Amino acid sequence: MILGNVYKAFNFSISMRVSNQYLSICNHCKAWCCTLVRPLVTKQEKNAIIAAGYSNFFIKYENDVYSIKPNEKGICPYLKDDYSCDIHHLKPKLCKIWPVIPRYKNGKRDYIVIKCPIFPELSKDDLKQAKNEAEAIPTPIVKYLWAISSEVRHKYKRFEYENI
Ligand code: SF4
Ligand code: SF4
């Protein structure tokens, strides 16, 4: 589903390097990360996506926490048939930092990285940059993410993870 001047066109965007190798990894994976929990966004992120002319799939949880309503297949409606993200230039910060995930566990935030197929391609700097971005995500978003992810956390076990 990060960083840098050029965002990867596929769901994963952590790298500043856009390579066919990355595209092929995510394509082969069939955008598994986009089929997990619904991305949560701030009002500002939601407004930017709508202002750019994309369909409004958002539902409000509270003042500055919005979710993307899943489609009939139960996945993100911005995921295209070729597993690319239709809003990749404006994709939610939670998507940009994947496979780094902020959690709100036992009353405090921590950060993990899921060792999905793209993980071996990531440098320490990539992960550091992703964690920095994750730290900027508002706590209400992280709390909601942790709450709604309870229903799919077992899916994360498909891959190992570690704290960063
Ligand atoms: S789970 Fe990892 S490898 Fe799979 S699509 Fe997402 S970023 Fe790419
Ligand atoms: S907005 Fe949807 S399709 Fe785009 S990266 Fe996030 S989950 Fe995937």
What does the pLDDT look like over 81-111, one tens digit per residue? 888 889 988 989 999 999 999 999 889 999 9
Binned at pLDDT 50, 70 and 90, residue 66 comes out as very high
Of the residues 85, 94, 100, 141, which should be mutated to test ligand 2's pocket, given the most ligand atoms within 8 Å of the CB? 85
What pLDDT score was predicted for residue 161? Answer: 87
What does the pLDDT look like over 152-163, one tens digit per residue? 777 777 788 889
Q: Which residues have CB under 8 Å from 135's CB, separation 6+?
A: 102, 111
Q: What single-letter amino acid sits at 141?
A: I
Please give the structure tokens belonging to residue 112.
């993990």
Ligand 1 centroid–CA 163 distance in Å is 18
The sign of the dihedral angle between the CA atoms of 1, 130, 100, 23 is positive
Q: Judge if the beta carbon of residue 112 lies within 6 A of ligand 1.
A: no
Q: What is the dihedral of CA 66, 117, 80, 16, to 10 degrees?
A: 80
What pLDDT score was predicted for residue 5? Answer: 28
What pLDDT score was predicted for residue 6? Answer: 31
Q: What is the dihedral of CA 70, 71, 75, 79, to 10 degrees?
A: -110
Phi, psi of 111 (to 5 degrees): -135, 135
Of the residues 3, 78, 101, which should be mutated to test ligand 2's pocket, given the most ligand atoms within 8 Å of the CB? 78
150 pLDDT above the threshold of 50: yes
What does the pLDDT look like over 103-125, one tens digit per residue? 998 899 999 999 999 999 898 99
Q: Judge if the beta carbon of residue 78 lies within 6 A of ligand 2.
A: yes
Phi, psi of 33 (to 5 degrees): -65, -25
What pLDDT score was predicted for residue 124? Answer: 92
Ligand 1 centroid–CA 97 distance in Å is 12
